[in-house]
Amino acid sequence: MKSKNILKRLFIGLAAVLVLIQLIPVNRTNPPVTAEINAPAEVMHVFQRSCYDCHSNETNWRWYSYVAPVSWLTAYDVKEGREHLNFSEWGGLEAKKQAKKTEEIWEEVSEGNMPMKIYVLAHPEVKLSEPEKEALRQWAMAAERGEEE
Ligand code: HEC
């Protein structure tokens, strides 16, 4: 009887916490696109489908990004992602910086670090196919050659 009461209180307490944390504001912004990256259509398609949610100012804030505590993780990944690489502001980077980021993009993709694993798990359609990876590789190599000229 007594332990049942404790369980009931615990459950109500937990439910209350879940409701209350929804009131904590989460920063879900989509600032203006100032200088979007320019790449061949196939490469753009991959970036837009698989990277833009975290690496652009055009994040598709899905339903779960409105439900705490998942919303906190989502907002954090987008904030961090944009800070490291923002395709919407790419044109504003110096050529040298663009070259460095291009190299990093291929590195992260070829090593399977990007897109983030948890994101691929939630959205299997964002996984890069072999031909898509090859297109990214070609794009990165071409950019590198251009750099050296
Ligand atoms: C779910 C969010 C998310 C997605 C989707 C995502 N990234 Fe990231 N990415 C991050 C976060 C967060 C970081 C910074 C922290 C880290 O390095 O893990 C990052 C870091 C990077 C970096 C390192 C940049 C630097 O300056 O160190 C590169 C390059 C990168 N991502 C490329 C990509 C590419 C290319 C795609 C798509 C194929 C992609 N990411 C998809 C969240 C994401």
Our answer on whether the CB atom of 139 is closer than 6 Å to any ligand 1 atom is: no
Residue range of the domain that includes 34: 2-148
- The confidence band for 1, taking pLDDT boundaries of 50, 70 and 90, is low
pLDDT at 147: 59
Q: Does residue 37 register a pLDDT over 90?
A: yes
Q: Which atom of ligand 1 is nearest to the CA of 119?
A: 1
Query: Does the C-beta of 116 come closer than 6 Å to ligand 1?
Result: yes
Name the residue with the closest Cα to ligand 1, atom 42: 81
Classify residue 117 as exposed, middle or buried by CB count within 10 Å of its CB (0-12, 13-18, 19+).
Answer: exposed
Provide the number of structural domains found in the chain.
1
pLDDT of 27 higher than 70? yes
Measured CA distances, 8 to 13, 14, 17, 111, 123 (Å): 9, 10, 14, 48, 36
55, 70, 74, best to mutate for ligand 1 pocket (most atoms within 8 Å of CB):
55
What pLDDT band is residue 4 in, cutting at 50, 70 and 90?
confident
The per-residue pLDDT for range 83-109, each reduced to its tens digit, is 999 999 999 999 999 999 999 999 999
Distance 78 CA to ligand 1 centre (A): 9
Contact 91/35 with Cβ under 8 angstroms?
Answer: yes
Segment 38-54 mean pLDDT: 98
